[in-house]
């Protein structure tokens, strides 16, 4: 998260430069001298923007560079706020008078601040690099659901193993089958393929994204809502939740529950969770739990926890081939050795292979080679909480090649805590209100917002999670951030 936070500045600075351009062109009525000050500020930011790539790259591993990038980003937000204040002041005569007094002083202070930031950049300068030919993210508007087949490549044996462990219990007691492994390896994808298996079509099924914020009441209420197939009022206390769960489970014969992304380590909390799901006589409850922590898996499991292995390099290459539409290419012979080298760099992480496959779709051979030899592969790797493994380089690479407007929309999601639930339509409205949409002569702002969501889904920066309530769709942020997004049926009005 810190790495991505350091790389957000390029998106922010694009928006602020555009905002300054609008002010200069007369959207905000300014004195002639103030217009010159804004032009000077815009030129300063354009110069900083040209040198920002190196600082962002270094900010991933260099705390001094990260500090500089964050100071620049803070200044961008303040400039944006300043321009918003000036624009609102023009709505009244008193505001216009106040603007004449305050704006020159604010401009002077901001210019001094930018000058200091510009000078400080010299301390973090790296040898210049040429990125003019580096690939950019295509404008993909395909249905995000087409990614499912690529996601399940190479996991047939693993799925059979989980199914065997679930069916191995012949009692009417609750069975807990934990799947554990490091982030991005495909635990949630495997759990989803089990959830959708024909064997469980007639079961009552529940999917819960647990997250780092462990809340037994929320978990209990979510199970109640999904089992009853309706939006039930929130039950405020655990005792009443347990009673209602016992009633619901007693009505069911077979129940499959997926507890996705469990982080809670406290044995007493885990025991309480297990007790909550052991309600209901005559009902067979099967629970699949995904977690990054072997200790959590051992604590909650009633059968031997299953450690999900890395994908082979060949499987990563198969995923990349499918995501990049490799078989439609006329230059497959030239691309294959490059693609196989990139697949090896994925280190068995399915999420990395999916993201890079999407990035390389429709790109010429030279740009595949640029990805293979990119400096990001040499950066210090992310250390996962449960396994020291390189999983971040490929995702940072995909993030780096996002267009600034898409990078900014994704980075905006970082303001929400892990596990936070959002309405998809509201997120798009927020993007529109904040001016994050790239101007288009062919698409409305609403259509652009839908397109951005689709692109992030295609890159696996957003991930679908299964929900059971009517037409609702649960989407959560992928490996780099983990807020959730709920999408309701599209509204008729578009912007």
* Tens digit of each residue's pLDDT (9 = 90 or more) over 4-27: 555 567 667 777 887 777 777 765
In the predicted structure, residue 73 carries a pLDDT above the cut 90: no
* 179 and 233 co-located in one domain: yes
* 444 in any annotated domain: yes
Residue partners of 205: CB distance under 8 A and separation at least 6: 195, 226, 255, 256, 257, 258, 466, 468
* 116 in any annotated domain: yes
Question: How many residues are given for the chain?
Answer: 495
What local confidence, expressed as pLDDT, does residue 415 receive?
64
Range of lowest pLDDT (89-93, 175-179, 214-218, 272-276):
89-93
Mark which of 288, 307, 326 sits at the end of a domain.
Answer: 307
Joined together, the tokens standing for residue 142 give 């395909």
Joined together, the tokens standing for residue 190 give 């495997």
* Tens digit of each residue's pLDDT (9 = 90 or more) over 336-365: 999 999 999 888 888 888 888 888 888 889
* 489 in any annotated domain: no
Q: Quickly state the pLDDT bin for 280 (edges 50, 70, 90).
A: low
C-alpha triplet 71, 73, 76: angle, nearest 5°? 115
* Tens digit of each residue's pLDDT (9 = 90 or more) over 373-430: 887 776 544 444 333 334 456 667 777 777 777 887 887 776 665 556 667 888 888 8
* 328 in any annotated domain: yes
* 340 and 473 co-located in one domain: yes
- Residue 440 CA to residue 194 CA, distance in Å, equals 42
* 323 in any annotated domain: yes
What is the biggest distance separating any 2 CA atoms in the chain, rounded to whole angstroms?
83
Mean pLDDT to the nearest integer, 201-230: 89
Question: Comparing 458 with 229, which gets the higher pLDDT?
Answer: 229
For residue 238, give the CATH number of its domain: 3.40.50.300
In the predicted structure, residue 199 carries a pLDDT above the cut 80: yes
For residue 53, give its domain range: 1-121
What local confidence, expressed as pLDDT, does residue 321 receive?
92
| Cα–Cα nearest to 209, from 196, 191, 183, 194 | 191
3-class SS of residue 207: strand
What local confidence, expressed as pLDDT, does residue 258 receive?
94
Cα–Cα distances (Å) from 126 to 8, 52, 54, 62, 470, in that order, read 19, 10, 6, 12, 53
Handedness of CA 78, 80, 86, 89 (dihedral sign): negative
Range of lowest pLDDT (139-153, 242-256, 367-381):
139-153
Eight-state DSSP code of residue 122:
G
Beta carbons of 330 and 112 less than 8 angstroms apart: no
What local confidence, expressed as pLDDT, does residue 124 receive?
54
What is the pLDDT of the chain when averaged over all its residues? Answer: 75
* 180 in any annotated domain: yes
Range of lowest pLDDT (25-29, 144-148, 230-234, 384-388):
144-148
Mark which of 121, 138, 169 sits at the end of a domain.
Answer: 121
* 1 and 45 co-located in one domain: yes
* 406 in any annotated domain: yes
* 356 and 449 co-located in one domain: yes
Number of domains in the chain: 3
Residue partners of 39: CB distance under 8 A and separation at least 6: 24
Mark which of 307, 342, 371 sits at the end of a domain.
Answer: 307
Range of lowest pLDDT (198-202, 393-397, 408-412, 443-447):
393-397
* 492 in any annotated domain: no
* 283 and 360 co-located in one domain: no
* 338 and 468 co-located in one domain: yes
In the predicted structure, residue 487 carries a pLDDT above the cut 80: no
């Amino acid at each position: 998260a810190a790495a991505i936070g350091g790389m957000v500045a390029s998106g922010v600075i694009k928006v602020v430069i555009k905002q300054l351009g609008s002010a200069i062109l007369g959207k905000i009525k300014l004195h002639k001298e103030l217009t010159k000050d804004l032009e000077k500020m815009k030129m300063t930011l354009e110069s900083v923007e040209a040198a920002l790539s190196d600082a962002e790259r270094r900010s991933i591993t260099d705390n001094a560079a990260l500090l500089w990038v964050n100071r620049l980003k803070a200044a961008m937000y303040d400039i944006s706020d300043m321009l918003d204040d000036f624009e609102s002041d023009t709505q009244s005569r008193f505001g216009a008078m106040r603007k004449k007094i305050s704006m020159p002083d604010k401009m002077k202070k901001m210019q001094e601040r930018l000058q200091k930031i510009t000078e400080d950049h010299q301390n973090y300068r790296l040898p210049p690099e040429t990125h003019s030919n580096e690939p950019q993210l295509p404008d993909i508007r395909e249905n995000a659901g087409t990614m499912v087949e690529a996601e399940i490549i190479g996991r047939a044996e693993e799925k059979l193993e989980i199914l065997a462990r679930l069916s191995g219990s012949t009692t009417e007691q609750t069975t807990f089958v934990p799947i554990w492994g490091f982030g991005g390896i495909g635990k949630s994808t495997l759990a989803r393929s089990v959830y959708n298996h024909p064997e469980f079509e007639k079961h009552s099924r529940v999917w819960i994204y647990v997250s780092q914020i462990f809340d037994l009441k929320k978990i209990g209420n979510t199970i109640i809502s999904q089992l009853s197939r309706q939006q039930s009022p929130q039950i405020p206390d655990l005792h009443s939740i347990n009673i209602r769960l016992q009633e619901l489970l007693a009505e069911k014969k077979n129940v499959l529950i997926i507890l996705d992304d469990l982080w809670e380590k406290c044995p007493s909390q885990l025991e309480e969770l297990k007790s909550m799901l052991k309600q209901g006589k005559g009902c067979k409850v099967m629970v699949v739990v995904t977690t990054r922590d072997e200790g959590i898996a051992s604590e909650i499991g009633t059968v031997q926890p299953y450690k999900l292995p890395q994908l082979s390099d060949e499987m990563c290459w198969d995923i990349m081939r499918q995501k990049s539409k490799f078989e439609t290419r006329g230059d497959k012979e030239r691309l294959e050795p490059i693609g196989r080298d990139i697949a090896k760099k994925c280190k068995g992480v399915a999420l990395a292979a999916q993201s890079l496959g999407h990035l390389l779709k429709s790109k010429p051979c030279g740009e595949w080679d640029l990805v293979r030899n990119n400096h990001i592969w040499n950066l210090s790797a992310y250390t996962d909480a449960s396994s020291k493994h390189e999983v971040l380089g490929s995702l940072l690479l995909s993030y780096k090649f996002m267009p600034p407007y898409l990078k900014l929309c994704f980075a905006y999601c970082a303001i929400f805590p892990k596990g936070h639930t959002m309405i998809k339509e509201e997120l798009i409205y927020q993007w529109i209100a904040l001016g994050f949409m790239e101007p288009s002569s062919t698409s409305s702002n609403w259509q652009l917002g839908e397109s951005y969501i689709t692109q992030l889904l295609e890159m696996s920066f957003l991930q679908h999670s299964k929900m059971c309530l009517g037409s609702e769709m649960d989407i959560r942020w992928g490996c780099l951030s983990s807020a959730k997004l709920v999408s309701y049926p599209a509204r008729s009005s578009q912007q």
